[in-house]
Amino acid sequence: MSREALEPWHDRALWFVRQKRDRAARTVAEWEELRQLASQIKAHTMSRLDHYLERFERNAVRNGIQVHWAADAQEHNRIVEGILARHNVRKVVKSKSMLTEECGLNPYLQARGIEVIDTDLGERIVQLRDEPPSHIVLPAIHLKKEEVAALFEARLGTEPGNADPTYLTYVARKHLREHFLSADAAITGVNFAVADEGLFVVCTNEGNADLGTAMTDLHIASMGIEKVIPSLEHLGIFTRLLARSATGQPVTTYTSHFKRPKPGGELHVVIVDNGRSAILGNESNAQALHCIRCGACMNTCPTYRRSGGHSYGYIVPGPIGSSLGASRDLKRSGADIYNCTLCGSCSNVCPTRIDLHRQLYAWRKVYVERGHLPPKKRWLYRAGAWMLRSPVRARILFGTAKWATRLLPRRLLYHPANVWGRTRELPEFAPKTFARLYKERTREP
Ligand code: SF4
């Protein structure tokens, strides 16, 4: 599908999810209180992270869970591979886990002869297309059902041209069942780890984590250090926020608690740092660790909705991904942090009240201070700042732009040599168009 056709469709699809989130949030009278509590619990836990992680480990070990610690992605992958090798595992079923994406676990295991099957439907679709997820909750949101039908026809032998979602889901379920039945081990992520109980919680809408862990005797769970919360009384606050913020549902369909290995089986948790301690030590960025991966900031972000997740430079896209990506490799994340419009919509919807737009603004300052801004842009920004500093100069600037879009011949505006115009449909009469767009975009449902 062409970019021009995809953009408005993608925009509407994500905005629909955002509106569902708004309606669901309005049904909870104490919604803002819950957000405040979630933010405070996260801040408290992060301030005593070593204490809660050790507490989780002690209680988990007491429950019979084997706990491993990984400093980075390589160590995480080596630990997982070691466990699988000890059990002669040839095939793994995996439920959605952004941490395993971050660590590049699939290619790592596949290069060592272990077959990895993603079992979340959206994840399986992007895996069959050999591409990364474009959203953390809706991994295949960039694809239309006709594209999925063509993929399934080529890979799973479905009827040519049949794009009926019920039919496609039925075929996918049958295809995945065969893998569940023949897998040797299951890998899941961790949504929340409860320190007092030594248990962890995995949330899915498809029950694929439950099916995978029920059908195999070996379960490995990959967990970022920020997933820990103090006790069970805090869990309900996060689960109430998570489902509503993610998809507008009152509750995630399967909220499974794993406390001990099944009889005769093994349960492992790999606790991963992979740069998170560095984020914790960065005052203006530490709140990024409060993220519960609901995706709400993506659904509302005007840039994400129009550009899609694959246009971002880090595995997690959108506002939170831009902040996390900047803490990993600031130089490479320049496009992401500058694509933000600083509208603040992401911070307004975030269930744990992360100050996302402020973080991205702070990253821009660091980006400039460290000299990463290309000279052309530096001069452009300086000129822009000089123009906008005076109302008279600003009026001249906007007046010129307005008349330029009206009077200049279109072939000049859209000339291939004009990089700026090449990728834009310039407004006919800028101020009116902007006013209309502003009204549309700021209208609350
Ligand atoms: S930053 Fe907030 S809104 Fe975005 S995914 Fe994380 S918890 Fe959700």
Q: Which atom of ligand 1 is nearest to the CA of 320?
A: 1
Among protein residues, the one whose CA lies closest to atom 4 of ligand 1: 297
Burial of 409 (0-12, 13-18, 19+ CB in 10 A): exposed
Q: Which domain holds residue 161?
A: 147-183
- pLDDT tens digits for range 153-172: 999 999 999 999 999 999 99
- Residues in Cβ contact with 217 at an 8 Å cutoff, skipping those fewer than 6 apart: 262, 264, 265, 266
Q: From ligand 1's centre to the CA of 410, what distance in Å?
A: 41
**Is the model's pLDDT at 422 over the cut of 90?**
no
Q: From ligand 1's centre to the CA of 295, what distance in Å?
A: 5
Q: Which atom of ligand 1 is nearest to the CA of 290?
A: 7
Least confident of 224-238, 304-318, 408-422: 408-422
Same domain, 427 and 384: yes
Question: What whole-number distance in Å separates Cα of residue 402 and Cα of residue 429?
Answer: 7
Q: From ligand 1's centre to the CA of 323, what distance in Å?
A: 11
Same domain, 85 and 155: no
Six token digits for residue 79: 């630990």
pTM comes to 0.88
Question: What whole-number distance in Å separates Cα of residue 33 and Cα of residue 39?
Answer: 10
**Is the model's pLDDT at 251 over the cut of 70?**
yes
Q: Pocket of ligand 1, candidates 98, 320, 340: which has the most ligand atoms within 8 Å of its Cβ, to mutate?
A: 320
Q: Which atom of ligand 1 is nearest to the CA of 298?
A: 4
The per-residue pLDDT for 349 is 97
Q: What is the mean pLDDT of residues 320-329?
A: 96
Angle at 265 between CA 260 and CA 268, to 5 degrees: 60
DSSP string, 174-233: HHHHHHHHH-SEEEE--SEEETTTTEEEEEESS-HHHHHHHH-SEEEEEEEGGGEES-HH
Same domain, 253 and 385: no
Q: What is the mean pLDDT of residues 212-222?
A: 97
Are 271 and 103 a contacting pair, CB within 8 Å? Answer: no
Q: Which atom of ligand 1 is nearest to the CA of 293?
A: 5
Q: From ligand 1's centre to the CA of 28, what distance in Å?
A: 19
Nearest Cα residue to 228 out of 47, 37, 56: 56
Among protein residues, the one whose CA lies closest to atom 7 of ligand 1: 291
- Domain assignment of residue 99, yes or no: yes
Among protein residues, the one whose CA lies closest to atom 6 of ligand 1: 291
Helix (H, G, I), strand (E, B), or coil: what is residue 350? coil
- State how many domains the chain has: 3
Residue of 435 and 344 predicted with greater confidence: 344
- Domain assignment of residue 250, yes or no: yes
Residue with tokens 């060592």: 112
The per-residue pLDDT for 13 is 95
Same domain, 132 and 154: no
Pocket of ligand 1 from Cβ distances under 6 Å: 245, 291-297, 320, 349-352, 354, 356
Nearest Cα residue to 178 out of 90, 89, 93: 93
Six token digits for residue 352: 């744990």
- Domain assignment of residue 285, yes or no: no
Same domain, 99 and 68: yes
Q: Could you tell me the pLDDT band of residue 394, with boundaries at 50, 70 and 90?
A: confident
Q: Could you tell me the pLDDT band of residue 428, with boundaries at 50, 70 and 90?
A: low
Per-residue buried b or exposed e for 384-395, using 16+ beta carbons within 10 Å of the residue's own CB:
eeeeeeeeeeee
Q: From ligand 1's centre to the CA of 40, what distance in Å?
A: 15
Q: What is the mean pLDDT of residues 237-252?
A: 97
Q: What is the mean pLDDT of residues 47-62?
A: 98
Q: Which atom of ligand 1 is nearest to the CA of 246?
A: 8
Nearest Cα residue to 77 out of 43, 107, 38, 37: 107
Q: From ligand 1's centre to the CA of 426, what distance in Å?
A: 33
The per-residue pLDDT for 405 is 72
Mean pLDDT of the chain: 92
- pLDDT tens digits for range 65-121: 999 999 999 999 999 999 999 999 999 999 989 999 999 999 999 999 999 999 999
- Domain assignment of residue 332, yes or no: no
Same domain, 266 and 120: yes
**Is the model's pLDDT at 445 over the cut of 60?**
no
The per-residue pLDDT for 408 is 75
Q: Which atom of ligand 1 is nearest to the CA of 318?
A: 4
Same domain, 97 and 211: yes
Q: Pocket of ligand 1, candidates 312, 354, 357, 359: which has the most ligand atoms within 8 Å of its Cβ, to mutate?
A: 354
Among protein residues, the one whose CA lies closest to atom 8 of ligand 1: 294
Is the C-alpha dihedral spanning 378, 383, 388, 390 positive or negative? positive
Same domain, 57 and 76: yes
Residue with tokens 């001990």: 260
The per-residue pLDDT for 397 is 83
Question: What whole-number distance in Å separates Cα of residue 347 and Cα of residue 322?
Answer: 13
Q: Could you tell me the pLDDT band of residue 27, with boundaries at 50, 70 and 90?
A: very high
Helix (H, G, I), strand (E, B), or coil: what is residue 268? strand
Q: From ligand 1's centre to the CA of 374, what distance in Å?
A: 30
Estimate the share of the chain in helix, then strand, then coil, as percent rounded to the nearest 5: 60, 10, 30
Same domain, 59 and 132: yes
Q: Which atom of ligand 1 is nearest to the CA of 288?
A: 1
Q: What is the mean pLDDT of residues 189-196?
A: 98
Q: Which residues pair with 115 in a beta bridge?
A: 91
Of 213, 245, 277, the residue at which a domain comes to its end is 277
The per-residue pLDDT for 410 is 72
Of 162, 183, 204, the residue at which a domain comes to its end is 183
- Domain assignment of residue 247, yes or no: yes
Q: From ligand 1's centre to the CA of 353, what distance in Å?
A: 8
Of 227, 249, 277, the residue at which a domain comes to its end is 277
Q: Pocket of ligand 1, candidates 350, 353, 356, 360: which has the most ligand atoms within 8 Å of its Cβ, to mutate?
A: 350
Q: From ligand 1's centre to the CA of 359, what distance in Å?
A: 13
Least confident of 197-201, 233-237, 389-393, 414-418: 414-418
Nearest Cα residue to 193 out of 219, 218, 230, 241: 230
- pLDDT tens digits for range 342-355: 999 999 999 999 99
- Domain assignment of residue 16, yes or no: no
**Is the model's pLDDT at 370 over the cut of 60?**
yes
Same domain, 176 and 204: no
Same domain, 52 and 115: yes
- Domain assignment of residue 24, yes or no: no
Q: Which atom of ligand 1 is nearest to the CA of 136?
A: 5
Same domain, 256 and 391: no
**Is the model's pLDDT at 395 over the cut of 90?**
no
**Is the model's pLDDT at 275 over the cut of 70?**
yes
- Domain assignment of residue 282, yes or no: no
Q: Could you tell me the pLDDT band of residue 443, with boundaries at 50, 70 and 90?
A: low
